[in-house]
Structure 1
């Protein structure tokens, strides 16, 4: 099963890429499919690609549910 998860953009990189934080783990992902992303935005990430931007409140609710089920560690 594949899972697309909310991640917060913490750094914009060259070539339509960004560093995102997934439960405190920093990973690089492509922003090629999403326009207008800024540092602090939440994006849905799946296999290294940001698929869409996400409302911050919805992202926090989703991350809390994932942490509650043990799927993701809570953000530090």
Structure 2
């Protein structure tokens, strides 16, 4: 998958306040990591920690995170 094909993929999205998100826009993941870690949201903080711990934020990382999100949603929101 090309970079652009997974840029808006579920596994590549994080929650941030709108103004914070706007300041980060097209910056690289390693630049965004410190902001992610300090945002106060567990899932976003985990992304920042993973990047700072050496995870390459590539297609494989995006797909893995999407899988974890899906597992969480299915478990927590199951009928």
TM-score, normalization: structure 1?
0.33
Greater strand proportion: 1
Larger-Rg structure: 2
Greater helix proportion: 2
Whose RCO is larger (CA < 8 A, sep 6+)?
A: 2
TM-score, normalization: structure 2?
0.32
